[in-house]
Amino acid sequence: PKSLSDEAIDDSSCDVFFGTTKKASMSAIAKFAFERFPAPFLRVSISKQSSATVMTVAFGDWCTANAEDKSALANALQHYVEKTWLRGSKQKQARWDMAILCNENEATPPSDAKAIKHFIKAAKLVGINAEVVNAAQAAANITHYDALFIRETTAINHPTYHIARKAEQEGLVVIDDATSILKCCNKVYLHDAFSYHKVPSPRSHFVSDNTTSTCQMLADEFGFPMVLKLPESSFSMGVFKVKDNDELKDKLETMLNESALVLVQEYIFTEFDWRIGVLNGRPIYACRYHMARGHWQIYNHDAKTNTSGGFETLPTFEVPKPVLDAAIKACSMIGKSLYGVDIKQANGKVYVIEVNDNPSIEAKVEDLYLGKELYMIIMQEFVNRLEARGR
């Protein structure tokens, strides 16, 4: 952990009882170890090896513990049980418990701290006791909850996906569900689904090499500029615009070192992208995200300041019908979870760019029109699903 100080390293080892230790300098390390290896009794040791600091975690042996350690373990057990299972005993019990999965170290999380507070307050109003957890806590304690709301950026080979799957296996109501993560994070699937179901989208082609003939074929089909995307890209990361054949060949070579396939699309210029929030097949909010200053995307990750463009939030009834229809149709192929659909509108046509399973909902942005009602709508959907499951 970041708190691994020289003082802690000098202490070298400690006994950990339900995440606590008698050594104050090792308390952060004890908590860190317990979150990842949730066992009543652990022995943790720290050692310096060359330029690295190594933490070793082993299960403690109750049979060899002395009387003082057994007493400390009993006290830690009582505290842990009271904290974990009886946290609502001094207040009115909620009907359900919800874990909101967040990552405090994430630079651009789907929801900011203020939005998370709004979610927690909205949950309380509909009978849900919601609390923020990190990935380690969620993985260790997921069976303590009735619902999981993921507000950390998702990916397929990532703890968010594994936690979503585990939560579903335990019978929790989950948004984002694992299937939605799997589909939305895979542009190969989205491309095939859009094509098969005739969802309006940019002309696209997958390539697996950057040979001269392939580059010429792409130039003939799309012209320049054109857009290149990694299959698991999101939030404008792993997405590039190339302006000529040399740049196309070089960028394809770089991207194919990361992925077996690259998605190539026609470039469609617009001053803004529509973002339609869809929950259970119904549009609940709408935004226009303007391009970042001097850039062709809404995010410019290379900029030192002002990495994103401006935005406008408006009621869904002011959104052109073709845009809403395209958003609903695109989501119908994914599921009935919470999605953010990115759509371009140009030359009298609409083009679905992608469907995001983990859409941004930030205070004073996506909620600017509906206000706290937006959070209530989402929490009420959890209630509807919990009641349908008889939890």
pLDDT at 367: 98
Question: What Å distances lie between residue 176 and 8, 182, 329, CA to CA?
Answer: 38, 10, 19
To the nearest 10 degrees (0 to 180), the angle between helices 372-389 and 113-125 is 50
* Residue 82: Cβ-neighbour burial (10 angstroms; 0-12, 13-18, 19+): exposed
| CA gap 166, 99 in Å, rounded | 13
Provide the edge-to-edge strand list for the sheet that holds 52-59. 13-17, 41-49, 52-59
pLDDT at 234: 62
Quick: pLDDT tens for 232-251: 866 567 899 999 999 999 99
Classified as helix, coil or strand, 52 is strand
| CA gap 123, 131 in Å, rounded | 10
* Residue 49: Cβ-neighbour burial (10 angstroms; 0-12, 13-18, 19+): exposed
Fill in the DSSP letter of residue 64. Answer: G
Question: What Å distances lie between residue 119 and 297, 321, 368, CA to CA?
Answer: 29, 29, 15
**Do 281 and 328 contact (CB within 8 A), yes or no?**
yes
Secondary structure (DSSP) of 344-376: EEETTEEEEEEEESS----TTTTTTTTTHHHHH
Question: What Å distances lie between residue 96 and 1, 172, 374, CA to CA?
Answer: 32, 11, 20
pLDDT at 27: 84
pLDDT at 296: 45
Question: What Å distances lie between residue 220 and 202, 213, 217, 227, 267, CA to CA?
Answer: 16, 10, 5, 14, 14
Domains of the chain: 6-85 (3.30.470), 96-183 (3.40.50.20), 203-266 (3.30.1490.20), 270-389 (3.30.470.20)
Nearest 5°: the CA angle 280, 158, 309 is 65
Instruction: Please report, in tens digits, the pLDDT of each residue of the chain (391 residues total).
Output: 544 544 445 557 889 988 888 888 888 888 888 888 888 889 898 887 777 788 889 988 878 888 888 888 888 888 877 766 555 554 557 899 999 999 999 989 999 999 999 999 999 999 999 999 999 999 999 999 999 999 999 999 899 999 999 999 999 999 999 999 999 999 899 999 999 999 999 999 999 999 999 999 999 999 999 999 998 866 567 899 999 999 999 999 999 999 999 999 999 999 899 999 999 999 999 999 987 655 445 554 454 555 566 899 999 999 999 999 999 999 999 999 999 999 999 999 999 999 999 999 999 999 999 999 999 999 999 999 999 987 4
Task: Output the pTM of the full model.
Answer: 0.77
pLDDT at 86: 55
| CA gap 93, 85 in Å, rounded | 12
φ, ψ (nearest 5 deg) of residue 238: 70, 20
Question: What Å distances lie between residue 124 and 74, 138, 143, CA to CA?
Answer: 33, 20, 20
CA atoms within 13 A on the CB side of 51: 0
**Do 110 and 359 contact (CB within 8 A), yes or no?**
yes
| CA gap 298, 277 in Å, rounded | 17
Please identify which residue in the block is written with the tokens 């200053």.
293
pLDDT at 235: 56
Q: Tally the residues of the chain.
A: 391
CA atoms within 13 A on the CB side of 65: 21
Pick the closest to residue 59 from 20, 9, 16 (CA basis). Answer: 16
To the nearest 10 degrees (0 to 180), the angle between helices 212-222 and 245-256 is 120
Quick: pLDDT tens for 173-228: 999 999 999 999 998 999 999 999 999 999 999 999 999 999 999 999 999 999 99
